[in-house]
Structure 1
Amino acid sequence: MTINLLNTFLLFAILIIITINLSYFCSKDANRYSVIQDERFSIFNLTRSISNWTHTSSSPLIPPYVPFRSTFVTSPKYSLAACRIQKNLSTILLNLFCFLNTPRKFSKTGNSLTVEFRNHISVETCNKTHANHIAMNTTFTTKLAIIRDPVERFLSGFVDKCIHEAEKKDYRCYGCNKDMVCVLKEQYERFKLIAEGRLLSFSYEDRHFAPMSWFCDFDSETIKNYRFLFFGETEEKQSQTIRELMNIFSVHGVDNGTISHIFQELSANRTKHSTSGSAIREKIGKEMRSDPEAMRLLHLIYENDYRIFKLQSPFIQS
């Protein structure tokens, strides 16, 4: 059997799997499953990307730019948009843009910029939160995305989801019972399947641990349309990020009183999901860095994020 014939057979098999998955998951809750009305997820585009990947990629690294679940917040009044990447201030971005669009209603209902979004105001009332194709939309002068060190992002998510949340929900993190290597092995296999187009339903954990380059409709061209803010792990670096964000708001015409209020609240509080600076975060981080298998799997999952966003990789390069 020639290589071309084998690839044709493989692609045909994948098409059958995709069709079965689509027929099943399209009937499920749209908020839980990732199948959406988006041409990036059409059979044509999925199979084209799968075909290209199977022909060109022999690397064990999880590839970048895989079409994934992307949500955005927008403020047409200020010509601003932002992509929300889980574990990268996504709750704060949702609240911030809601406040920019409906400041009186937001404040009247007692919402905080750093507390989980309440149901007093619907997402639809706040803004066009689930607007699509922001990466190519010329309506917004600035398109923001917040990035952070990929391993630190995973560590933050692991402590929050696999330790704190798992205390009350033992099914979190695939029932791995706080075993980081167990979680990483599961995620690596799942991410390979997603990248190959063989898994179309995304788990709660997938959404929090997926590579950053999978969000925001990023590809090698659209990524150039974003302005990135780096969220560091120290209080000093985080304060710098907040100041940079306030400067962007100022340039876009947000009034000084609003900026002052936002700056004070963000500087004084953190979200309940934040693990930065905690004792458990420090302990788990030390254990992670001393575990060769954990670091090997982190390298396989996140090395391309370090390359895409030009961040210094902690992994030894061969």
Structure 2
Amino acid sequence: MLSKNWANLFLALCCCFFCYQTFNAQKEPLIIEQNEAPMSSSSSELEFIRPYMGHLPPDYLTVPEYNLTACTYRKSMSQMTTNAMCLLYDPKRFLSENHSFNETWKSKRSCKAADKNGFGGFPENLQNTSRYTRFVFIRDPFDRFISFYLDKCLHEKRCYNCEPEDLRCVVKEVYESLLKISRGEQALLTKMLNSSSYMDIHATPTSWVCDFQQFRNVYYIMVIGSSFDERKEPISKFVEILRRKNVPEVYISKIEGNLLTSETHHSTHNSEMRKIAEEKVKNDKIIRDYLHKIYFYDYLVFPEFDRAHLDAPYNMSNSSFDEKYRKDYESLIKSQEFLSKLKN
């Protein structure tokens, strides 16, 4: 009798072990490491990059004479905007020293010497005054990513650990680095702000810059593109702002003409490599999965962006999908405002 009970117990244990192994064998292929974004994964397996991560100090440029402040961020006409504001800050010096709108960060701009006097900033005591007009040029996130990739990977040869032509690898590296920053990993933030590793700064979501989490609604926002046709309308709006601020027509005319026609040395919109990169972004599903997860919130935060080129359901404004994530970022804003009040 005893041996029969032991036999039954042994049989029961074998059955339990078999069921356990079978259950785990079925689950195992679905396991994805938390910090891994597999190249073959679908977008549903990737976490969204959160909006409004107010880590980056805004790059303000202020011209007190006209109560005018610009915010610039990388790969969104920042060089041209800086040159225009330099001209307005000290036009006599800008013209006498033969500065041009083709100058870049490496150029010895005359207005750099004026940083200590307020040009390269926006004093806090002025930020809540209505007399200052604040403007910014923003750029479609997918288009901006292509410009970033061409300039940093192909031109400057800074490309994480990827081969320069491997756009899948690049977008994956961007995603994983920004994801860690959005999760609040301070070491990554410190690395991001280090001038020796500045790749992420050029690829950040638009909502991360210019104190948009606090001042989104006070900006004059103009969507800029790289081609002549994509520049005309936003530059026309900028000219209207300058006229309202009583900027002399001679300076307005110079700024308008140069913004429409000038290009900095790292401009990429006419290159053959850009056409290749655009085709990859348009047709490669893996690249698009990553880009949607990096930049989708930008399209929610900034309805000025055209979403027609996004995949469904990302391209459907006012849909239930859209509303779900809109509520998510509105909740995030409220939580950030609450934390800000606690700190103060």
TM-score normalised to the size of structure 1?
0.75
In the alignment, the residues of structure 2 paired with residue 301 and residue 134 of structure 1 have an alpha-carbon distance, to the nearest angstrom, of 34
Structure 1 residues 243-294: Cα deviation after superposition (integer angstroms, max 9, x where no partner): 2211111110100111111122222321222212322211111022221111
In the alignment, the residues of structure 2 paired with residue 113 and residue 312 of structure 1 have an alpha-carbon distance, to the nearest angstrom, of 28
The structure 2 residue matched to 1:176, chosen from 146, 162, 166, is 162
Residue 163 of structure 1 is matched in structure 2 by: 154
Structure 1 residues 136-179: Cα deviation after superposition (integer angstroms, max 9, x where no partner): 4316531111112110010111111111111xxxxx12131222
Does the CA-based 8 Å contact 1:72-1:134 persist in structure 2?
no
Residue 316 of structure 1 is matched in structure 2 by: 312
Does the CA-based 8 Å contact 2:69-2:122 persist in structure 1?
no
Compared CA separation, residues 159 and 134, structure 1 to 2 (3 A): farther
Q: What does 1:140-219 align with in structure 2 at a 5 Å threshold?
A: 140-166=131-157, 172-178=158-164, 179-198=166-185, 199-201=188-190, 202=192, 203-219=197-213
Per-residue deviation at 1:96?
Answer: 1.1
Residue 258 of structure 2 is matched in structure 1 by: 265
Q: Tell me, what secondary structure is at the counterpart of 1:200?
A: helix
Does the CA-based 8 Å contact 1:71-1:130 persist in structure 2?
yes
Compared CA separation, residues 93 and 134, structure 1 to 2 (3 A): farther
The structure 1 residue matched to 2:100, chosen from 102, 112, 119, is 112
In the alignment, the residues of structure 2 paired with residue 312 and residue 255 of structure 1 have an alpha-carbon distance, to the nearest angstrom, of 34
Residue 86 of structure 1 is matched in structure 2 by: 74
In the alignment, the residues of structure 1 paired with residue 279 and residue 126 of structure 2 have an alpha-carbon distance, to the nearest angstrom, of 37
Alignment RMSD (CA, Å): 2.2
Compared CA separation, residues 132 and 156, structure 1 to 2 (3 A): farther
TM-score normalised to the size of structure 2?
0.69
In the alignment, the residues of structure 1 paired with residue 262 and residue 150 of structure 2 have an alpha-carbon distance, to the nearest angstrom, of 19
**Structure 1 portions without partners, runs of 5+:** 1-57, 167-171
Per-residue deviation at 1:72?
Answer: 0.7
In the alignment, the residues of structure 1 paired with residue 102 and residue 126 of structure 2 have an alpha-carbon distance, to the nearest angstrom, of 26
Q: Does the alignment pair 1:65 with 2:52?
A: yes
In the alignment, the residues of structure 1 paired with residue 224 and residue 125 of structure 2 have an alpha-carbon distance, to the nearest angstrom, of 21
In the alignment, the residues of structure 1 paired with residue 274 and residue 160 of structure 2 have an alpha-carbon distance, to the nearest angstrom, of 20
Q: How many residues align?
A: 255
Residue 33 of structure 1 is matched in structure 2 by: none
Structure 1 residues 167-226: Cα deviation after superposition (integer angstroms, max 9, x where no partner): xxxxx121312221212111111111111221222131111100000000111x421111
Q: Tell me, what secondary structure is at the counterpart of 1:112?
A: coil
Q: Tell me, what secondary structure is at the counterpart of 2:159?
A: helix
Structure 1 residues 84-136: Cα deviation after superposition (integer angstroms, max 9, x where no partner): 11111111111111110111111222211232152252524265213365994
**Structure 2 portions without partners, runs of 5+:** 1-44, 314-320, 322-344
Does the CA-based 8 Å contact 1:76-1:140 persist in structure 2?
no
Per-residue deviation at 1:236?
Answer: 1.5
* Counterpart AA for 2:266: H
Q: What does 1:220-231 align with in structure 2 at a 5 Å threshold?
A: 221-231=214-224
* Counterpart AA for 1:154: F
Does the CA-based 8 Å contact 2:86-2:110 persist in structure 1?
no
* Counterpart AA for 2:230: K
Q: What does 1:241-256 align with in structure 2 at a 5 Å threshold?
A: 241-256=234-249
Residue 12 of structure 1 is matched in structure 2 by: none
* Counterpart AA for 1:159: L
Does the CA-based 8 Å contact 2:111-2:119 persist in structure 1?
no
Does the CA-based 8 Å contact 2:232-2:260 persist in structure 1?
yes
Does the CA-based 8 Å contact 1:143-1:225 persist in structure 2?
yes
Q: Percent identity?
A: 31
Residue 36 of structure 1 is matched in structure 2 by: none
In the alignment, the residues of structure 1 paired with residue 150 and residue 46 of structure 2 have an alpha-carbon distance, to the nearest angstrom, of 29
Does the CA-based 8 Å contact 2:46-2:293 persist in structure 1?
no
Compared CA separation, residues 275 and 102, structure 1 to 2 (3 A): same
Q: Does the alignment pair 1:128 with 2:131?
A: no
Does the CA-based 8 Å contact 1:75-1:97 persist in structure 2?
yes
In the alignment, the residues of structure 1 paired with residue 199 and residue 124 of structure 2 have an alpha-carbon distance, to the nearest angstrom, of 24
In the alignment, the residues of structure 2 paired with residue 109 and residue 234 of structure 1 have an alpha-carbon distance, to the nearest angstrom, of 29
In the alignment, the residues of structure 2 paired with residue 278 and residue 227 of structure 1 have an alpha-carbon distance, to the nearest angstrom, of 31
Q: Tell me, what secondary structure is at the counterpart of 2:69?
A: strand
